[in-house]
Amino acid sequence: MPRLLVPRRSVLTAPLALPFLGTAAGAQPRSVQLLNVSYDPTREFYRDFNAAFTTRWKERSGETLRANVSHGGSGRQARSVIDGLPADVVTLALAYDIDAIAERGLIAPDWQSRLPANSAPYTSTIVFLVRKGNPKNIRDWGDLIRPGVGVITPNPKTSGGARWNYLAGWAWALRQPGGDEKAAEAFLMALFRNVPVLDTGARGSTTSFVQRGQGDVLLAWENEAHLAFAEFGAGQFDIVYPSLSILAEPPVALVDRNVDRRGTRAVAEAYLRALYEPDAQALAARHFYRPRDAAALAAAGSRFPALEMVTIDDAAFGGWKQAQARHFDDGGVFDRLYQPGR
Amino acid sequence: MMAACSTAFTSRAADAMAAPPSAALRTRPGSLASRRGPLPGFGLSLGVALFWLSALVLIPLGALLLRPWELGVSGLWRSLSEPRVLAALRLSFLGALTASAVTLPFGLLLAWVLVRDRFPGRRLLDAMVDLPFALPTAVAGLALTALYAPNGWLGAPLAALGVKVAYTPLGVILAMAFVGLPFIVRTVEPVLRDLPREAEEAAATLGASRPQILWRVVLPALAPALLAGFAMASARAIGEYGSVIFIAGNMPMVSEIAPLVIVTRLEQFDYAGAAAVGLAMLALSFLLLLALNLATRFWRPV
């Protein structure tokens, strides 16, 4: 038995020899790994994009790329990166989550201006998914507060998508005749009174609406609505475009501290830039994300109906930081909606 | 702390029952056998045990205890006295106690059937009791939700009767009862097995009726184990997330559980606020377990 405890020389020295073997065989194909930390509904898009980019990167640099993607709720994913998940790039649901990472010094503060179009290579918007034939005749935001209409949305406190839902409703209410902030708050309070289930994420809400038969209308990402539509057949649902919605810009960024430590800056930058190129833009459109590229958008034809959209930088919101603090932080407008006695 | 308390419970329950037979077998103090046990000496054993306990329990708990004070005492108070937080704590604790109380008689009955009766399929039933232990909690939650949703197999007929289970506090209690069942059965079972039938027979020959035997002979002997099982089932249900979250509906003030408030605060990058709720849950759980622990020690119904 004690003999086993004595290390054999060959075993001990083998790892030492490995790096030298590596330099001797310098012509061998190098390989590199990349981790993209993303949010929930991008699963299908990035699977296809990674396959295309891996081929391209091999042609360009000779390196074999292994691109991995992690999916989850946007806020939770941001927290994982803050807590040390070694993401090379993040592709999240809203700028606020990337700002939170930047605040901890992992990403340069000016990240959003480093890439074109606010660092959002594709966009989406919020639409209504209703049951086939639209039995409750839901056409616009105002119909959501009618008594007897069940509205399904995730909780804005835990879901990025739900924050877009909420803000789109807020923007619509402000634009109504006599609409001011008080009226908008009353509108949202009536809307959330019609919500029977608050799931923690967008996929959870889709399940509640589609599979559990909850509610009459699902407030959903446009791409998520199309996915449910494609998955469960056109026989069950209709998509309704409201008169006004919000331009959701899911941004992407390089995680500076991680790419510098791992030496992956070049490939990570190329990965993000490739998202803006025509073939990736066409791919985004195929997965129901609105492409930024005008040609790709035109090629998608009637897939993306024209729609009036406000942006988060609209005067009503003043950017993510302000919107988050005002509406969603503890004690904000959303918490007030659920205060007892109201 | 919760885990440590629960173990203390089981060992006490086991001691209580094991005491009479083992007293006869106990080796005389000072004999060779008592000085040289199969494990190494007291110093080493205690050292290893303390190291393990620190690494797994005390250090993480210490980290949790330190975090909320970043808010200051008044900030901590404000953060905990929000109506939403109080409502969630109330649901988690009262829900867990209700679920365990409802499960208690059924758990006892199940343990009784498994120990006292022989019937085909007993071993299968025995194995099924442990399923809530083994099943990933999210799977259990999804299954319960699919079953009890208003369009589910059980939810639809119940909805016709006007009973809503999924997405209400009732659903929360149901899921909590589901995860708590094995704790009660598995705590009561060994004690019941060691219970001498002679005592029941003696009582019968002395003219006791069946309810009297149950009430004055069987239940007093089982009381510590029942309390221990109740405490463990409650402790588990209070902290339960995976199986409850799908069926809860998560409406603030109504069906939102305390662990979800913690997750919500983490999503807002409010680490201290999340730890504050964690601290409150820890303190309340500790008080609850302590009270039940003392009850097992002093309250012995005759």
Cβ separation of A155 and B249 shorter than 8 Å?
no
Checking if the pLDDT of A161 tops 90, the result is no
- Taking only the tens place, the pLDDT of each residue in B222-268 is 998 999 999 999 999 999 998 999 898 888 888 999 999 998 888 88
**Set of chain B residues whose Cβ sits within 8 Å of the Cβ of A213:** 149-151
Q: What DSSP string runs through chain B?
A: -HHHHHHHHHHHHHHHHHHHHHHHHPPPTTSHHHHS-SSPPHHHHHHHHHHHHIIIIIHHHHHHHHGGGGGHHHHHHHHHSSHHHHHHHHHHHHHHHHHHHHHHHHHHHHHHHHHH---TTHHHHHHHHTHHHHS-HHHHHHHHHHHHSTTSTTHHHHHHTT---TTSHHHHHHHHHHHHHHHHHHHHHHHHHHS-HHHHHHHHHTT--HHHHIIIIIHHHHHHHHHHHHHHHHHHHHH--HHHHHHH---TTTT--HHHHHHHHHHTT-HHHHHHHHHHHHHHHHHHHHHHHHHHHH----
**Set of chain A residues whose Cβ sits within 8 Å of the Cβ of B82:** 330-331, 335
Residue spans of the domains in chain A: they are 31-120+249-276, 124-248+306-337
Tell me what pLDDT residue B274 has. 92
Tell me if the domain spanning A31-120+249-276 has CATH number 3.40.50.620. no
Residue B13 pLDDT class (50, 70, 90 cuts): very low
Q: Is B59 on the interface with A (CB under 8 A)?
A: no
Cβ separation of A197 and B250 shorter than 8 Å?
yes
**Set of chain A residues whose Cβ sits within 8 Å of the Cβ of B166:** 212
Cβ separation of A338 and B268 shorter than 8 Å?
no
- Taking only the tens place, the pLDDT of each residue in B169-196 is 999 999 999 999 999 999 999 999 998 8
Q: What is the ipTM of this complex?
A: 0.72
Tell me what pLDDT residue A7 has. 42
Residue B57 pLDDT class (50, 70, 90 cuts): confident
Give the residue, A293 or A28, on which the prediction is more confident.
A293
Q: At what angle do helices B83-116 and B169-194 cross, to 10 degrees?
A: 40
Identical fold at A31-120+249-276 and A124-248+306-337? yes
Whole-prediction pTM: 0.77
Cβ separation of A155 and B264 shorter than 8 Å?
yes
Tell me what pLDDT residue A341 has. 56
Q: Report the residue of B85, B264, B268 to disrupt the A interface, i.e. the one with the largest count of A CBs within 10 Å.
A: B268
Please tell me the distance in Å from A171's CA to the nearest CA on chain B: 23
Please tell me the distance in Å from A75's CA to the nearest CA on chain B: 5
Task: Return residues 149-168 of B near A (CB < 8 Å).
Answer: 149-152, 166-167
**Set of chain A residues whose Cβ sits within 8 Å of the Cβ of B150:** 212-214
Q: Is B63 on the interface with A (CB under 8 A)?
A: no
Please tell me the distance in Å from A116's CA to the nearest CA on chain B: 28
Checking if the pLDDT of A236 tops 90, the result is no
Tell me what pLDDT residue A29 has. 62
Tell me what pLDDT residue A5 has. 42
- Taking only the tens place, the pLDDT of each residue in A17-41 is 444 444 444 445 688 999 999 988 8
Nearest to B252 among A82, A212, A338 (CB): A338
- Taking only the tens place, the pLDDT of each residue in A72-126 is 888 889 999 999 999 999 999 989 999 999 999 999 999 999 999 999 999 999 9
Residue A233 pLDDT class (50, 70, 90 cuts): low
Cβ separation of A82 and B269 shorter than 8 Å?
yes
CATH topology assigned to domain A124-248+306-337: D-Maltodextrin-Binding Protein; domain 2 (3.40.190)
Q: Report the residue of A83, A155, A206, A337 to disrupt the B interface, i.e. the one with the largest count of B CBs within 10 Å.
A: A155
Give the residue, B101 or A7, on which the prediction is more confident.
B101
Percent with pLDDT over 90 in chain B: 44
Size of interface A-B (CB pairs under 8 A): 70
